[in-house]
Amino acid sequence: MDANASAHAAALWVGLHLILLLVLSVLVVRQRRTHGVALGDAAIPELAQAVRAFGNATEYVPAGLVAIAVLAMAGAPPMVVHLTGLLLLAGRIGHAVGLSRHGGASALRSGGVVLTWLAYILGGVALIFYAIP
């Protein structure tokens, strides 16, 4: 297996997730400026939703990125790294868009959670598999 190809795959997904976190952060800052709120959400739904979309991503993305990086280091095929990264990114984007549109339940938000969990399952099972010599 070409470890270099797996490392490049991991680099792609880490980079894309960093950009996602930056975009979500900018959306929070934009809402804060629009509403003149420096701290908290002042019970403004749009700001609260932006804060939670960013917060939720920061809660799920780091563990997923660790899994992606360790998969690459363990010599997992690039396709496993790519699939884990794609599921995680699609899940986090879907969740953020669904939450940003309305604070209640939505298909995008639910689908985002499912895709994120699938990324965690795939990454976790693959890590266990590649941990066994």
Second CATH level (architecture) for the domain 3-131: Up-down Bundle (1.20)
How high is the pLDDT of residue 104?
Answer: 80
Give me the residues of the chain with pLDDT under 70, please.
1-3
How high is the pLDDT of residue 91?
Answer: 98
How high is the pLDDT of residue 105?
Answer: 83
- Cα dist. 39→17, 48, 56 in Å? 25, 11, 18
Closest CA to 16 of 60, 65, 56: 65
The separation between CA 41 and the C-alpha centre of its own chain, rounded to angstroms, equals: 22
Helices (H), the chain: 3-35, 45-73, 78-101, 107-131
Give the integer Cα–Cα distance in Å for 44 and 105.
Answer: 18
Domain boundaries of the chain, sorted by first residue: 3-131
Token code pair at residue 8: 């490049």
How high is the pLDDT of residue 102?
Answer: 79
How high is the pLDDT of residue 61?
Answer: 98
Are 11 and 68 in contact by the 8 Å Cβ rule? The answer is no
How high is the pLDDT of residue 1?
Answer: 56
How high is the pLDDT of residue 70?
Answer: 97
Instruction: Please enumerate, as own/partner, the contacts of 37-46 that have beta carbons within 8 Å and a separation of 24 or more.
Output: 45/103
